[in-house]
Chains A and B, each alone.
Chain A
């Protein structure tokens, strides 16, 4: 019978398997993925720099071809940075997961909250790399989910 009060352990748990089997772990940092990521942004936001400046109440002082070039380069820069963070987030998830067993000894509630965040992260990233447009779909949201949770829980450093 399922005993909900048994001593739980992250090691060997279904959550650990889920984190370790996350498709996000397999994404590669490559020009191809950066390009796919940038193309996906272009499709979603055709003038990405203009859109970003507008969203952040800034003014675009560039004009003509310089402005066009900036709009073209901007998503490549985003894709490069985002891909690195997406890749590091999958490693972070493994690291945070490994802390659950230690954390539960002092604060099982916090360990549960951490486990919930990791479950959400793994769920968001549960899609093959080939379907993510270089990580833009789902993996970016997975990263933001994990980061938001860690910030909310006070795990992020200054």
Chain B
């Protein structure tokens, strides 16, 4: 990722990407609310797993990682692992679609979630050619189920 900064520096030698301060981080980490420590560790582990998976996917460039990126950009809620207290990703919130902000019911987003959930069933998002559902597909199926929609109704 440092390549991005290097690219920018070609046009502007003084360019410097904003950096997140390193010095105080360990101090702050000591004082994270106790109720959030486990979630924070879980999220860090999850993102580390994502990085490792990406490194493997880079051995098969082009298709899978682009597909994942498309999903992460259009439905980022499917890629979160943090189970923060008092918050879970639901299909609808206050009468609006969580994913596009449209009114409920939102058939396009429901259809997308069903497709993503079904892709896991067929192995397309099984992770490196396996047959286990990927985390995004699992989450899509769970969100639909929580909303009272059977993700596999069309099978």
A3-16 CB mask vs B (1 if < 8 Å, else 0) is: 11111111001111
**Contact A113–B28 (Cβ < 8 Å):** no
Interface of B is mostly: helix
Question: Is B94 among interface residues, defined by CB-CB distance under 8 A?
Answer: no
Question: Is B19 among interface residues, defined by CB-CB distance under 8 A?
Answer: yes
Q: Bound complex: CA of A152 vs CA of B79, how far in Å? A: 18
**Contact A113–B50 (Cβ < 8 Å):** yes
Question: Is B18 among interface residues, defined by CB-CB distance under 8 A?
Answer: yes
| In the complex, number of A-B residue pairs with CB atoms less than 8 Å apart | 203
Within 8 Å CB of B40, what residues of A? 141, 144-145
Question: Is A36 among interface residues, defined by CB-CB distance under 8 A?
Answer: no
Question: Is B63 among interface residues, defined by CB-CB distance under 8 A?
Answer: yes
**Contact B20–A152 (Cβ < 8 Å):** no
Beyond A56-B30, A148-B44, is A119–B7 a contact (Cβ under 8 Å)? no
Q: Bound complex: CA of A149 vs CA of B81, how far in Å? A: 14
Within 8 Å CB of A148, what residues of B? 44, 47
Q: Bound complex: CA of A137 vs CA of B48, how far in Å? A: 23
Beyond A4-B71, A126-B87, is A52–B27 a contact (Cβ under 8 Å)? yes
Q: Bound complex: CA of A157 vs CA of B40, how far in Å? A: 23
The A-contacting residues of B in range 7-40, CB under 8 angstroms, are 7, 16-22, 24-25, 27-34, 36, 39-40
Interface of A is mostly: helix
Beyond A111-B69, A143-B28, is A155–B1 a contact (Cβ under 8 Å)? yes
Q: Bound complex: CA of A117 vs CA of B17, how far in Å? A: 17
B1, B7, B17, B74: residue with the most chain A Cβ atoms closer than 10 Å: B1
Within 8 Å CB of B99, what residues of A? 14
**Contact B19–A157 (Cβ < 8 Å):** yes
Within 8 Å CB of B51, what residues of A? 113, 152-153
Give B residues with C-beta under 8 Å from A: 1-5, 7, 16-22, 24-25, 27-34, 36, 39-40, 43-44, 46-48, 50-51, 54-55, 57-58, 61-63, 65-77, 79-82, 84, 87, 89, 99-101, 111-112, 115-116, 119
Give A residues with C-beta under 8 Å from B: 1-10, 13-18, 40-41, 44-45, 48, 51-52, 55-56, 75, 78, 81-82, 85, 88-89, 91-92, 95, 99-100, 102-104, 106-120, 122-124, 126-127, 136-138, 140-141, 143-157
30 A/B residue pairs, CB under 8 Å, sorted by A = A1-B115, A2-B111, A2-B115, A4-B71, A5-B63, A7-B66, A8-B66, A15-B74, A15-B76, A52-B31, A56-B30, A78-B27, A81-B24, A89-B20, A100-B69, A108-B62, A111-B69, A115-B69, A116-B50, A116-B79, A117-B47, A136-B33, A137-B36, A138-B84, A141-B32, A144-B32, A145-B44, A148-B47, A152-B44, A153-B1
